[in-house]
């Protein structure tokens, strides 16, 4: 190659590389300069670890901790992260409407910045930043401001004042706790009419007192969700004028998973049971509070409301045998490909019919529980109907013995009116069911109608 051409090509390459380097170095600086002209302050909100809001004689101090934002002054409490984020975002994107460069001291004083009415200090990974706010300008919805390290007098929107001068309680988290149902291992509700204890055992909720019975996980979750997330309407509520009467107080003690200090909440209800707010005592949030009407749940919840009303759950693909009896008619169904058969009766039931029966069993819920009713009085000795779902393991099964393995079932008495007495297979307690399940059993178990005789 011609030596001159080589040298020229090398020079062009060096110029291109140099230009790219220059652009990369200058572009961020240009963007930052543009940001500084456009906004009052440029900072990264995620880098801020502490905020001081000084308004007159009061200072609100907010701190970012491992668990999130907290209010350190004038009270110590958990902060509302949404409110803190709203404040930081408003400060970061505080647009400059006009700018007076190097103002005279008289102009600074006239703008109310010689003694600012509001000051916000930001501290974190970057250099500390102070933004001061003074008097309103002659234009509507506008205020004078000044940023530390800059001499310019700024005109900005006054919406920031409303955010920064909100009552200190506005920065406190209005959700009673940060806990969720999965954080709770056990809880006890205490009222004038008695106690109820519910605990988690091997991943399932169990009512321990005043009766021992499985609890409905969805009912328990809904109850705990409402209480743990109670909205705090007012902090530092007033003590009731008169001592509450029996029946006007209810409390709950919540034990965290793995133990630890219990959370104790007491709710006080006045004479107006339809009141939208109630008084509550909860030490972790400062003592006496005014909370949302959902706190009435403590006065309304009962063992029956939390009980598991299902008969059990059957996975259709796991069922191999279905034993059924209805009014003396016995049916032993076995899975045979796409159908179910009873070889002794020579009867076949379709997959659709069996799937419908299993779905109905899984979805059936007890209307009520009858602890005082005996099996004899309920017509369950013997029962009028039986239903039992089982798996059938072959001799090649290594983990369990071969043969029938019951999964779930129910025994039913004679249906009367809108309910039918029943008991879950293996249980003693009597419950009342809707008539749909016994009707479905009868429809499958009854023998097919004989063909009409030919004359």
Q: Are 335 and 356 in contact (CB under 8 A)?
A: no
pLDDT at residue 273 greater than cutoff 80: no
Quick one: DSSP state of residue 128? -
Q: Which position has the token pair 């209010």?
A: 71
Confidence at residue 397, expressed as pLDDT on a 0 to 100 scale: 54
The residue from 280, 306, 332 where one domain ends is 306
Task: Provide the CATH number for the domain around residue 329.
Answer: 3.30.1490
Residue 209 lies in a domain: yes
Residue 33 lies in a domain: no
Confidence at residue 247, expressed as pLDDT on a 0 to 100 scale: 80
Dihedral over Cα of 357, 363, 367, 373: its sign? positive
Q: Are residues 268 and 292 in the same domain?
A: yes
- Provide the phi-psi class of 258: left if phi over 0, else alpha when psi is between -120 and 50, else beta: left
The residue from 150, 171, 192 where one domain ends is 171
Residue 12 lies in a domain: no
Residue 5 lies in a domain: no
pLDDT tens for each residue of 172-208: 999 999 999 999 999 999 999 999 999 999 889 999 9
Confidence at residue 101, expressed as pLDDT on a 0 to 100 scale: 92
Q: Are residues 148 and 55 in the same domain?
A: yes
pLDDT tens for each residue of 357-369: 999 999 999 999 9
Structurally, the chain folds into a number of domains equal to 3
Contacts (Cβ under 8 Å, ≥6 apart) of 265: 176, 227, 251, 252, 254, 280, 281, 282, 298
> pLDDT class for 157, splitting at 50, 70, 90?
very high
Where is pLDDT greater, at 51 or 7?
51
pLDDT at residue 16 greater than cutoff 70: no
> pLDDT class for 31, splitting at 50, 70, 90?
low
Task: Provide the CATH number for the domain around residue 73.
Answer: 2.60.40
Is 5 buried (19+), middle (13-18) or exposed (0-12) by CB count in 10 A? exposed
Q: Are residues 327 and 300 in the same domain?
A: no
Q: Are residues 156 and 82 in the same domain?
A: yes
pLDDT at residue 23 greater than cutoff 80: no
Token pair of 132, please? 């001061």
Q: Which domain holds residue 189?
A: 181-306
Q: pTM (2 decimals)?
A: 0.77
Q: Are residues 327 and 436 in the same domain?
A: yes
Q: Are residues 439 and 324 in the same domain?
A: yes
Query: Which H or E run contains 70?
Result: strand 68-73
The residue from 242, 273, 306 where one domain ends is 306
Q: Which position has the token pair 């025994």?
A: 411
Residue 453 lies in a domain: no
Q: Are residues 154 and 246 in the same domain?
A: no
Q: Are residues 322 and 293 in the same domain?
A: no
Q: Are residues 88 and 159 in the same domain?
A: yes
Residue 17 lies in a domain: no
Q: Are residues 260 and 367 in the same domain?
A: no
> pLDDT class for 20, splitting at 50, 70, 90?
low
Q: Are residues 121 and 159 in the same domain?
A: yes
Mean pLDDT, the chain, integer: 89
Residue 136 lies in a domain: yes
Residue 452 lies in a domain: no
Token pair of 192, please? 């004038």
> pLDDT class for 417, splitting at 50, 70, 90?
confident
Cα–Cα separations (whole angstroms), residue 270 to 108, 293, 298: 55, 12, 14
Residues in the chain: 455
Q: Are residues 95 and 166 in the same domain?
A: yes
């Amino acid at each position: 190659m011609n030596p001159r051409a080589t040298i020229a090509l090398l020079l062009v390459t060096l110029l291109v590389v140099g230009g790219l380097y220059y652009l990369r170095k200058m572009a961020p600086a240009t963007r930052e300069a543009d940001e500084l002209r456009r906004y009052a302050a440029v900072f990264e909100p995620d880098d801020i670890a502490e905020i001081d809001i000084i308004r007159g004689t009061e200072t609100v101090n907010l701190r970012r901790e491992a668990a999130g934002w907290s209010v350190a002054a004038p009270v110590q409490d958990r902060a509302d992260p949404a409110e803190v984020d709203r404040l930081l975002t408003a400060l970061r994107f505080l647009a400059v409407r006009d700018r007076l460069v190097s103002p005279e001291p008289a102009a600074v004083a006239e703008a109310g910045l010689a003694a600012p009415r509001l000051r916000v200090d930001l501290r974190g990974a970057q250099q500390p930043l102070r933004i001061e706010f003074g008097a309103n300008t002659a234009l509507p919805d506008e205020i004078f401001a000044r940023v530390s390290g800059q001499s310019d007098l700024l005109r900005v929107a006054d919406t920031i004042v409303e955010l920064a001068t909100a009552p200190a309680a506005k920065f406190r988290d209005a959700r009673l706790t940060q806990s969720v149902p999965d954080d709770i291992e056990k809880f006890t509700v205490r009222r004038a009419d008695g106690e109820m204890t519910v605990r988690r055992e091997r991943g399932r909720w169990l009512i321990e007192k005043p009766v021992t019975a499985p609890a409905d996980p969805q009912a328990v979750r809904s109850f705990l969700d409402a209480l743990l997330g109670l909205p705090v309407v007012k902090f530092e509520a007033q003590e009731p004028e008169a001592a509450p009467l029996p029946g006007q107080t209810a409390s709950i003690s919540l034990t965290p998973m793995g133990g630890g200090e219990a959370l104790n909440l007491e709710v006080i209800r006045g004479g107006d049971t339809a009141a939208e707010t109630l008084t509550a005592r909860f030490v972790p949030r400062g003592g006496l509070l005014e909370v949302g009407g959902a706190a009435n749940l403590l006065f309304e919840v009962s063992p029956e409301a939390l009980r598991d009303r299902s008969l059990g759950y059957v996975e259709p693909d796991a069922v191999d045998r279905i034993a059924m009896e209805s009014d003396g008619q016995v049916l032993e169904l076995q899975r045979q490909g796409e159908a179910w058969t009873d070889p002794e009766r020579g009867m076949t039931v379709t997959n659709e019919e069996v799937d419908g029966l299993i779905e109905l069993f899984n979805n059936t819920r007890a209307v009520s529980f009858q602890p005082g009713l005996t099996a004899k009085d309920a017509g369950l000795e013997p029962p009028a109907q039986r239903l039992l779902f089982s798996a059938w393991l072959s001799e090649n099964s290594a983990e369990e013995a071969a043969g029938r393995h019951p999964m779930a079932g129910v025994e039913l008495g004679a249906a009367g009116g809108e309910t039918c007495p029943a008991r879950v297979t293996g249980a003693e307690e009597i419950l009342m069911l809707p008539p749909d399940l016994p009707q479905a059993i009868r429809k499958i178990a009854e023998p097919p109608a004989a063909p009409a005789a030919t004359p």
